[in-house]
Amino acid sequence: MSLSSFFNGLMQPSVTPDAIRSEIYFLGSRHGGEALSGALSELQSADVAPDRARLLRAVVKQLQRR
């Protein structure tokens, strides 16, 4: 991790557990019950916004723990 990415992480708001749960629900409904594959698919999109990518990475991390 570079020093600049460390400071960027400090300056950006964290993703709340409520936001992660909500996104898992919406991903599941959009991707036929497959929230993890949906999040991974959406992360591959070239036009994903940085905040959205951060949320999707948090979703992937949460779902891979299960």
Q: Which two tokens stand for residue 18?
A: 């409520």
Read off the pTM: 0.79
Place of tokens 């999109």: 45
- Residue 15 pLDDT grade (very low, low, confident, very high; cuts 50, 70, 90): very high
Residue 3 lies in a domain: no
- Number of structural domains in the chain: 1
Query: Is 70 exceeded by the pLDDT of residue 25?
Result: yes
Domain with 19, as residue range(s), is 15-65
- Going by C-alpha positions, the residue among 3, 9, 41 that lies closest to residue 56 is 41
Structure tokens at 56: 């999707």
Which residues lie closer than 8 Å to 30 by C-beta, 6 or more apart? 38
Backbone angles phi, psi at 52, to 5 degrees: -65, -40
The total number of residues shown for the chain amounts to: 66
Q: What is the pLDDT of residue 54?
A: 94
Domain assignment present for residue 37? The answer is yes
In a domain, 4, yes or no: no
